[in-house]
Amino acid sequence: MEVVRVDNLVKRYKELVALDHLSISVNKGEVFGLLGPNGSGKSTLMNCILSLLKYSKGEIKVFGQEMKPDSYDLKRKIGVVLQNVAVFDELTVRENIDYFCGLYVTDKNLRKQYVDEAIKFVGLEDFTKFYPKKLSGGLLRRLNIACGIAHKPELIFMDEPTVAVDPQSRNNILEGIKELNRQGATIIYTSHYMEEVEQICTRIAIIDKGKTIAVGTNDELKALTPTSEKIRIEILDFDESKLPEIKELPHVTSATYEENHLLVSCKGGTHNLIRVLDFLKNNNVNFGRVYSELPTLNDVFLEITGKELRD
């Protein structure tokens, strides 16, 4: 079942085309990663899906229905956790969560139950009477999440929820996101931390210049890179005349010697490292530490979107 479907979406700001015939779909039960460089259109896309922005062309459906500014029945099923913390400084932790939950849940008894469950879920039981200004960055992020999910939405948008927090808070937040998903929530997740996306997302879309340029699982995206394995071997004195022979080994695409390290890139195949080490032993080459790296999501991202700096 498709929870979100975006077809042929176009959004223009005068001469600027922010979204250029973009299409994506998010299925029920997914943690769907949305990646892209700065200015790629991620925020514009989410605002269009939430009907906070008008768009020039295309169609957006949420839970099978057309999304409009007054689609309140759909919006009750949606939770939003913004990158910038959006809570009231004048309200305590409990009062903030109760306020945002009350926008969707009018029954006082049920709302109290939901607020209590949200506080426990993010681990803020000892801070319910604190005001936001007294909270650390990690606690503030957890409060922000509680405010967005207290009404138990079926679809949750999370925009950089772990930015500028310590490793312990980041781990707590990521475990919470996986638990929300286990409880049945579909999550659309944006982050510049590639290792987070690899860890929690079941499917990922990479967008750039307003277009969808790749969609798939981690493994499917990694298959798009020209290099499937990078081998790095410490060698203090290497005869570079042997590099052409290494390049002739099966599946080797390149071989270089830089700063006392032999660097070998491979595409596909198995036992690539064993073949390279056997070659060195057969040629009486002494070597030290050996590293073998598979491609990461970060490698895929840079390969697809380029390495130039973005604004």
**What does the DSSP 8-state code read for residue 241?**
G
Given strand 252-258, what is the order of strands in its sheet? 252-258, 261-266, 229-234, 290-293
pLDDT given at position 238:
95
User: How much of the chain exceeds pLDDT 70, in percent?
Assistant: 99
Cα 160 to Cα 158: distance, rounded to the nearest angstrom:
6
Task: Compute φ and ψ for 173, nearest 5 degrees.
Answer: -65, -45
- Which residues share a beta bridge with 233? 262, 290
Closest CA to 231 of 181, 275, 172: 275
Q: Residue 80: left (phi > 0), alpha (psi -120 to 50), or beta?
A: beta
Closest CA to 201 of 16, 5, 27, 19: 27
Listed in sequence order, the DSSP H helices in 50-201 are: 72-75, 93-102, 108-122, 137-149, 167-182, 194-200
Task: Compute φ and ψ for 156, nearest 5 degrees.
Answer: -125, 130
User: How much of the chain exceeds pLDDT 90, in percent?
Assistant: 83
Which residues, 6 or more positions from 136, have their beta carbon under 8 angstroms from its beta carbon?
none
Q: Which domains does the chain have, with CATH numbers?
A: 2-222 (3.40.50.300), 229-294 (3.30.70.100)
CB atoms within 10 A of CB 233: 22
pTM assigned to the model: 0.86
pLDDT given at position 292:
94
| Helix (H), strand (E), coil (C) string for 59-82 | EEEECCEECCCCCHHHHCCEEEEC
pLDDT, mean over the chain: 94
pLDDT band at 225 (very low <50, low <70, confident <90, very high): confident
What pLDDT digit, counting tens, does each position of 65-78 carry?
A: 999 999 999 999 99
Q: Residue 63: left (phi > 0), alpha (psi -120 to 50), or beta?
A: left
pLDDT given at position 44:
94
What token pair was written down for 250? Answer: 């099966």
What pLDDT digit, counting tens, does each position of 163-190 carry?
A: 888 899 889 899 999 999 999 999 999 9
Q: Which residue has the tokens 């032993």?
A: 281
Q: Residue 126 pLDDT more than 70?
A: yes
pLDDT given at position 311:
64
pLDDT given at position 303:
84
What pLDDT digit, counting tens, does each position of 143-169 carry?
A: 999 999 999 999 999 999 998 888 998
